[in-house]
Chains A and B, each alone.
Chain A
Amino acid sequence: MVQEPAMLTVSGLATAYGESQVLFGMEFAIGAGEVVTLMGRNGMGKTTTVHSIMGIVAPRSGMIRLGAQDIAGLPSHRIARLGLGLVPEGRQIFPNLTVRENLVAAAANRDARPSPWTLPRVFEFFPRLAERQTNMGNQLSGGEQQMLAIGRALMTNPRLLILDEATEGLAPLIRQEIWNCLRRLKEDGQAILVIDKNVGALIALADRHYIVEKGRVVWSGTSAALAGDEALQHRYLGV
């Protein structure tokens, strides 16, 4: 499906919380500059997949390769340093840091990109954050928090940006703003893995999709293929 060696390859991934296994051989790949989604109902293992990739939970078996390197089981901070930037479910802004500090605390440009994300660039991308830069993290609206979470991840100049529940709990107008900014990131060539419930927006944004059911991928294909198959959407996504 992906011709060139993928940037991120997940294969045979199995993860369990104690006795209860959640992932049963997850398989997917993301190429450079691609926008890929994980879709599926609640409790199917999307967030667990993300947590396994990020080293927040240790996978029981399987392979997670970033380029040529197997990162499965590495500590979280090492994985992040290899170029994965996570925008977590629920945003998880540091409440006791200012907006500016949230952005600066973990900033890095480890791949020495020629035009990296910097504080001025993030403020240009999200003017709202510039206005709020001295506010504490817990003094922001949901939309501003999500912008901050995205900005915080961009400041680490990740090779792959991962968004877990990109627009969950946001007002329709704010959602639109988030989708627009993801589109601009895509145009910039940023590879993105995005999880969300809004199928229409995902089809419009992403190149390819993986539908997850009970811990494994049950369908994968392009936006055109997904858009043309309403029975599929109805069966797995309940739309």
Chain B
Amino acid sequence: MTELLTPFATWRGRIAALVLVLLGLLPLYAPWLDAAGIISQKFALTLMTRVLILAIAAISLNLILGYGGIVSFGHAVYIGLGGYAVGIMAHHGVTNGFLQFPVAIGLSALFALAIGALSLRTRGVYFIMITLAFAQLVYYVGVGLEPYGGDDGLTINRRSDFAGLLPTRGPDKTTAFYVVSFVVLLLVLGLVHRLVNSRFGMALRGAKSNEQRMQALGMPTFRYRLTAFVIAGAICGLAGALLANHTEFISPAMMHWTRSGDLIVMVVLGGMGSLLGPVYGAVAFLLLEEFLPGLLKVVLTWLHDGVAAVLGPGAGALESWLRLAEYWQIALGAILILVVLYARGGIDSLFGRPRHG
């Protein structure tokens, strides 16, 4: 029992618990936010479902990137594979989730095995380029899949059916899907926590800092790294299957290389090699993406009014000021640079010293 309470002994643990509780209870307080006029319930749940799913994908990338030092620059390919597995099966009338999800996960694992077996023999920039090349290959296969919409993508008419346990239509489906995504997130967090602290995880982390030393102690590091690569691919494929269900749409854009970049940004922003880091990263990244333009407009309006009060008409039209908000990504870039420069361990490191460096 006391062991269960140890995470709460530090601020880092308390904040982690708080974030998870806030995420988990969203369906309960979303109606209140709606009534208070802050944000519509449906919008909040839809946005945050996306956050949860991409957090799962980021956690899977963190397993290899943060703990294994394996910089895969094609991780979004598994989101695409998982998504396409669900989409294509649904297109052919196979909507049984108990069939779709294992296929999505298995296909992703199989691809990760092939990609990893070839690319993990290389190092550094070569590894980055090979993983990117494989991801682009699959991306262009997706573009060429004319029967499934090619570049335009494919609409999924029916969500995965889990023997009717999960409402696939009606007003409850958004909430139900949010809860499912949250439970999957918790399971994935639990799995990665156990993996990372097992002897397998120790070998993976040790090989990150000194692979030759780990080998000289009798550990076949290639096999360990490949295993981690496959597990990460499988988890990310699961995220892809969830995402396809969430958006009820698949397209090659899911696995565009910029999506892989986004996942890396989430992991780095949140904290590489920390369990909750990718969750913080996904929340921060996607909420910034959603609200930064609006926030900038508020700031710009305020600035404009200030300048106009001094210069009068010389300040120019408010509209030309607001146009600057279109470049909100510059602000996002600046935030990222600040995190990389001043908070090496990402958001997570702001809450105290991480256990794993």
B-contacting residues of A (Cβ < 8 Å)?
A: 54-56, 75-77, 80-81, 85-86, 88, 92, 94-97, 101-102, 104-108, 136, 138, 152-153, 156
Q: Are the CB atoms of B357 and A95 closer together than 8 Å?
A: yes
Q: Which residues of B contact A152 (CB under 8 A)?
A: 217
| Known A-B contacts A104-B199, A105-B202; A92 and B210 likewise in contact (beta carbons under 8 Å) | yes
| Most chain A CB atoms below 10 A, which of B205, B213, B356 | B213
| Known A-B contacts A92-B213, A104-B199, A136-B357; A97 and B205 likewise in contact (beta carbons under 8 Å) | yes
Q: Which residues of B contact A94 (CB under 8 A)?
A: 205-206, 209-210, 213-214
Q: Are the CB atoms of B213 and A77 closer together than 8 Å?
A: no
- A76 interface neighbour in B199, B205, B215, Cβ under 8 Å: B215
Q: In terms of DSSP, what is the predominant structure of the interface of chain B?
A: helix
CB<8 Å pairs between A and B, sample of 30: A55-B216, A75-B220, A76-B212, A76-B216, A77-B215, A77-B217, A80-B215, A80-B217, A80-B218, A88-B213, A95-B209, A95-B357, A96-B205, A96-B208, A96-B209, A96-B356, A96-B357, A97-B205, A97-B206, A101-B205, A104-B202, A105-B199, A105-B202, A105-B203, A105-B206, A105-B214, A105-B219, A106-B206, A106-B217, A152-B217
Bound-complex Cα distance A134 to B193 (A): 17
Q: Which residues of A contact B216 (CB under 8 A)?
A: 54-56, 76-77, 80, 86, 88
Query: Is B221's CB within 8 Å of the partner chain A?
Result: yes
A-contacting residues of B (Cβ < 8 Å)?
A: 199, 202-203, 205-206, 208-210, 212-221, 273, 356-357
Query: Closest approach, in angstroms, between the C-beta of B69 and any C-beta of chain A?
Result: 10
Chain A residue nearest in CB terms to B214? A106
Given contact pairs A94-B210, A96-B205, a sample of 8 additional A-B residue pairs in the complex whose CB atoms are under 8 Å apart: A77-B217, A85-B217, A94-B209, A94-B214, A96-B209, A97-B205, A105-B199, A105-B203
Bound-complex Cα distance A95 to B357 (A): 8
Q: Which residues of A contact B215 (CB under 8 A)?
A: 75-77, 80
Query: Closest approach, in angstroms, between the C-beta of B71 and any C-beta of chain A?
Result: 16
Q: Which residues of B contact A77 (CB under 8 A)?
A: 215-221
Q: Which residues of B contact A106 (CB under 8 A)?
A: 203, 206, 214, 217-219
Q: Which residues of A contact B221 (CB under 8 A)?
A: 77
Q: Which residues of A contact B213 (CB under 8 A)?
A: 88, 92, 94
Chain B residue nearest in CB terms to A106? B217
Q: Which residues of A contact B219 (CB under 8 A)?
A: 77, 80, 105-106
Q: Which residues of B contact A80 (CB under 8 A)?
A: 215-219
Bound-complex Cα distance A107 to B212 (A): 16
Q: Are the CB atoms of B210 and A97 closer together than 8 Å?
A: no
- A56 interface neighbour in B203, B205, B212, Cβ under 8 Å: B212
Q: Are the CB atoms of B218 and A108 closer together than 8 Å?
A: yes
Query: Closest approach, in angstroms, between the C-beta of B211 and any C-beta of chain A?
Result: 10
Q: Which residues of B contact A105 (CB under 8 A)?
A: 199, 202-203, 206, 214, 217, 219
Bound-complex Cα distance A86 to B218 (A): 10
Q: Are the CB atoms of A97 and B202 closer together than 8 Å?
A: yes
Q: Are the CB atoms of B218 and A101 closer together than 8 Å?
A: no
| Most chain B CB atoms below 10 A, which of A80, A106, A107 | A106
Bound-complex Cα distance A80 to B357 (A): 27
Closest 3 A-B residue pairs measured CB to CB? A80-B218, A106-B217, A105-B202
Query: Closest approach, in angstroms, between the C-beta of A126 and any C-beta of chain B?
Result: 17
Bound-complex Cα distance A54 to B216 (A): 7
Q: Which residues of A contact B199 (CB under 8 A)?
A: 104-105, 107
Chain B residue nearest in CB terms to A95? B209
Chain B residue nearest in CB terms to A96? B357
Bound-complex Cα distance A107 to B202 (A): 11
Query: Closest approach, in angstroms, between the C-beta of A113 and any C-beta of chain B?
Result: 15
